[in-house]
Every structure is written in structure tokens, then in C-alpha cells.
Copies of this chain bind each other. A is one copy, B any other.
């Protein structure tokens, strides 16, 4: 039994993305203990002996943030293994992104847990300082999300169970940072077999002419992809 002595802790960190007023936000938690005490950091925790990283991420998400099971899309982004990325000990971190329609107020803005939904743009340009290498992780997660929006139907994970085409378009615009033509977008997404299933209901929550309400279909892959403007 010749094992190298390179033991490490395994951790799962989650970038919880959501939209607040058509702006992309990420859920951050103010650290109560050193290192990086008082700074923002991603929610996460160590992988326990009986579980794998994906299960750990799911546990952290439901328990630490109160986001109900089944109402989010959780996806692996990247692994971070550089020695010294945690000043205490060697920690290999598995970064996930979670796309949610809404973060319960108990998680963000609750006074017990010091958490907040902060603009992703602010984190990436340094306006919002974050601890560890979490700024890198958030940047990678955003880039990953941008790619996935091009090639899959996960954009609907940002939307409530029933949503309009315009709400879906706002997801693309917020994540990509572009403006999309409403009419071409409508033609594209409604033309994809199994992406949007009409419910028959309509809503006027955005004013103007009532908009058709859709729920997500079976399709997961977009082929040909959506193109960023």
C-alpha cells in the first residue's frame, strides 16, 4: 500500500445564480470566521465521507439556503486543486452552478444568516470583494452558463414553472449581456420541438397584450444552437 501523502479535503462550492429585475445576481454569504472573516464567499461545505461531490452540493443548497428541492438546476462547472488556494490546508473544491427562479427571503437578506444576492458584474469587476479564489470560480461559472444557454434549454431553470417568451428572453439578455430581437427570439424558441409547451393560459403581468404561458418540454439540447448577438 504505497499511497502518496497528498491528502486533501474535498469541498463543494455553489454559485447560485438568479435574476433580480433583469439583472444577474449571485448568492454570497458573509464569512463569520477566518480566513477571509467578514468577506463574501460562495455557499458550500465539505464533502462528507458517505457522499459524492454532487450530493454534497445538493445538500448545501437545500440546507444552507433553503431553496426547495426540485426547484433548481444544479450542474458541475470545474474543479480547483491548486495548492494553497485555502490557506489552512489543502482543499480540492468542486464548483457547481445552480440556476434558480427565485431565492427565498430566508436565505438572502434574512438577518440570521448574513447572505445577499449581489450583482455578478460587481463581483467580476472587483467592486464586491470575495474571499478565496471565488471570484475566479464565479467567472468560470458565468462563462459555463453562457455556453450552456447557447446549446441547451437550461435557461428555463431561471423561470417559474409557467413563464412567457419574454421572461425567457430576459434570461438570455441578462446572462449574455446583450439585447435580442424579440420577434426572432420568439420564432426561434417556439420553433424548437419540445422546448416550450403551451399551457393555454395567458398572463398580463408585463402589461400590454396578454402573453402566452409556457412550461418546459422534454428537449434539453439546442441544435442548431442559440447565437449571442
Contacts and interface: CB of A to CB of B under 8 A. Distances in A.
A88 interface: yes
Interface in A1-47: 1, 3-10, 46-47
A205 to B, nearest CB: 36
A51 B90 CA distance: 11
Contacts of A224: 224-225, 227
Nearest to A88: B1
B10 A9 contact: no
A89 interface: yes
Contacts of A82: 52
A46 B3 contact: yes
Contacts of A78: 76
A53 interface: yes
A225 to B, nearest CB: 7
A4 B1 CA distance: 24
B81 A52 contact: yes
A51 B48 CA distance: 24
A200 interface: no
B9 A7 contact: yes
Contact of A4 (B3, B8, B48, B88): B48
A174 B198 CA distance: 41
A104 interface: no
A159 interface: no
25 contacts: A3-B9, A3-B46, A3-B89, A4-B48, A5-B49, A6-B10, A6-B46, A6-B48, A7-B8, A7-B9, A8-B10, A10-B81, A10-B92, A47-B81, A49-B83, A49-B90, A51-B83, A53-B79, A53-B81, A53-B92, A54-B81, A81-B94, A92-B92, A223-B227, A224-B224
